[in-house]
Structure 1
Amino acid sequence: MSRNSESIDENMICSEFQEKVSEVLIRHKSILDIVTKLDEYNARINRAVMKSVTSCGCISIEASKQKYNKETLEELRESLENHVNGELCEVCSEKIEAEMGAYAFYLASLCNTLGISLTDVIIKELNNLKTLGVYSLK
């Protein structure tokens, strides 16, 4: 994970981001626009990942059936594959990050429209993960 050289208070980053989204979003203010933009950027993320495989070739995908015959959840977690070989090149990584950033923009916008705190959403999910641990099975 790369970090910006500026010092950003990690506790405030989601709130600040959500506030800035609220300030700059003009054209796609309708919830109808927002949810379709989320779908659009989800597809753009997927497309950028696939182009990393098919056009650039910096990563490859070798998928096969996962083997779930382990005794413990720890053994299972360690044995399951993500099916990705290689590492994203700088160009592909930047493209995917840009698409993810746009997705995060519209996610924050949806939170604003519905009166939900993105920070609270992340904190609640983190607390669920901490409480349930591997038993969250996502």
Structure 2
Amino acid sequence: MKDLICNEFQAAVSQCLVRHKSIIDVLTKLQETTCRINRAIAKSVTVCGCLEVNAKKQQIPSNISLHDLSTYMDTHLKGNLCPNCREVLEQELGNHLFYLAALCNLLNLNLYDVFVEENEKLTTLGIYNLS
């Protein structure tokens, strides 16, 4: 079922991608969507205020194991997305997924297979998958 949804999405992208079908167009649109995601998050901090970034140097004990490292790492993020910022960010992430699927289509890759392969690496290597 999960592969069906992913495959349907990838097929729908193939049907809808008309204007920006060149690999150059897709690459630059994918990069643009990354920028728009970054901008949406920044605006949730600087314009809306629903999120706050409180960044500082990570304090990591010298004798900590790799397995326990995540308990000492901070996201530097406080608050939660308001409904409006959530909607904007979901839209931008959707656009990003669209162009990611378009890139897969142009390169004859199956997006679901990419997900499965990455998931297998994560579940096999766990925290040692530091790529």
TM-score normalised according to structure 1 size: 0.90
CA distance in 2 between partners of 1:72 and 1:10 (Å) = 36
1:55 is matched with 47
- The gaps in structure 2 that reach 5 residues or longer are none
Q: Give the CA deviation at 1:35.
A: 0.2
Number of aligned residue pairs: give it: 130
CA distance in 2 between partners of 1:101 and 1:117 (Å) = 18
Q: Pick from 30, 47, 67: which aligns with 1:74?
A: 67
1:19 is matched with 11
CA distance in 2 between partners of 1:22 and 1:72 (Å) = 46
State the one-letter code of the partner of 1:98: Q
Q: Pick from 94, 98, 115: which aligns with 1:101?
A: 94
Runs of 4+ in 1 over 4 A off after TM superposition: none
Deviations for 1:4-54, whole angstroms, at most 9, x for unmatched residues?
xxxxx3232211100110011101000110000001110000000000000
Q: Give the CA deviation at 1:67.
A: 2.2
Q: Give the CA deviation at 1:137.
A: 2.5
Alignment of 1:88 with 2:95, yes or no, is: no
TM-score normalised according to structure 2 size: 0.95
* Stretch deviating more after TM superposition (60-69 or 119-128): 60-69
Q: Give the CA deviation at 1:68.
A: 2.7
